[in-house]
Amino acid sequence: MLSLKYNSLLILHTAFLINGPVDLLSLITMRKILTALVFVPLLLASQIPAGYYNSAQGLSGNNLKIALHNIIKNNSVVSYNGLWSAFPKTDKKANGKVWDIYSTVPAGTPPYEYTFITNQCGNYNSEGDCYNREHSWPQSWFNATPGPDSDLFHIYPTDGKVNGVRSNYPYGNVTSASFTSLNGGKLGPCTNAGYNLTVFEPINEYKGDLARGYFYMSTRYYSEDGAWSTSDATNKSDILPWQLSVLLQWHHQDPVSSKEIARNDSIYYKFQNNRNPFIDNPLWADSIWSTTIGIHERQARLTQAFSLLPVPAGNEVFIINHSQPSHVNYTISDVAGKIMAETSTELNDHLNINISTWPSGVYFVTITGLNSISRLKFIKI
């Protein structure tokens, strides 16, 4: 029999086949309908104390985030060294080995396994050498502030080599990988809207786990992030819209598992005396952040209404229209700010611009349509 987790994915996949591709907002709506069917049996198995979330009931948006913050903020703090002795109680597989999300192969044979304490890092050169403490929300993003630097809800025992390769890159989806781990994790350029630099993509089985860890961090340390830094994915404890879009999609595609429920209970009862609300009630992630993502996705569609071909360009460059035919204004300038072309015209599917007499170099293009604006650049050779 398929697990509840994979039954939910099967339902979503069937909906996809029937209706075709859907955007994230549609997926969120579908998930809200399915959650009552899929998550309730799992939540009944968790050990949530009676009344724990009473003050959060009936709230949404930032009011819900504040209420959840107040519920989970007064946690016990595990020492940084104490993480080593916590992992055998939070991240142990059925065979007693380390549950390493960067090496485990679900329903398959892992390329290597670790024994607690015995295989603790140390130095490493290759995958399979040792395991260490992976801060899924990198320490550099919060300046290794005490408290979050040992918060088990975002720290996992993982292979040292893969942890090092992931470094402090954000999470995202990768098509063309520069590095692929033995269990399929990938490092490479991000393919998600709003970001195109290097990201790390874990295997599908753990994408939701990591997303819910981020939701926890953003909520637990809300208003307590004065010493934190910013990153390409975060502004202190706030998750930037492009990263939120990725994480909410992962949250929906990889629902809460029995592993997460057991880990949540273990952290609560044995170590920190607080819980991850987004494991206990997955709908709260949408209640807090889906409006933000809706705005982000609409803005992304507008800013991606046009593109340029070829890149680099020779004697001509083409403006490609990805939306409905419309009247547009475009301006092209060089790196010194000199305007090389400025025109108002009707644009159907494409428009070619003669640049044969222009010097080689980098040029910047601003294209303004009725409901969109795109800022692009190209190189003339």
Model confidence band, residue 15 (pLDDT cutoffs 50, 70, 90) = very low
Q: Residue 373: pLDDT above 90?
A: no
Compute CA distances 128 → 99, 103, 121, 204, 222, whole Å. 13, 9, 11, 21, 37
Q: Residue 306: pLDDT above 50?
A: yes
Sign for the CA dihedral angle at 78, 279, 130, 116 comes to positive
Q: How far apart are CA 159 and CA 161, in angstroms?
A: 6
SS3 assignment, position 275:
coil
SS3 assignment, position 42:
helix
pLDDT digits (tens, 9 = 90+) for 70-117: 999 999 999 999 999 999 999 999 999 999 999 999 888 999 999 999
Whether the full predicted model's pTM is greater than 0.75, yes or no, is no
Q: Which position has the token pair 């801060």?
A: 135
360, burial (CB in 10 Å: exposed 0-12, middle 13-18, buried 19+): exposed
Sketch the domain layout of the chain as residue ranges.
4-302, 305-380
Q: How far apart are CA 104 and CA 111, in angstroms?
A: 8
- Please state which architecture CATH assigns to domain 305-380: Sandwich (2.60)
Q: Residue 12: pLDDT above 60?
A: no
pLDDT for 377: 86
Model confidence band, residue 51 (pLDDT cutoffs 50, 70, 90) = very high
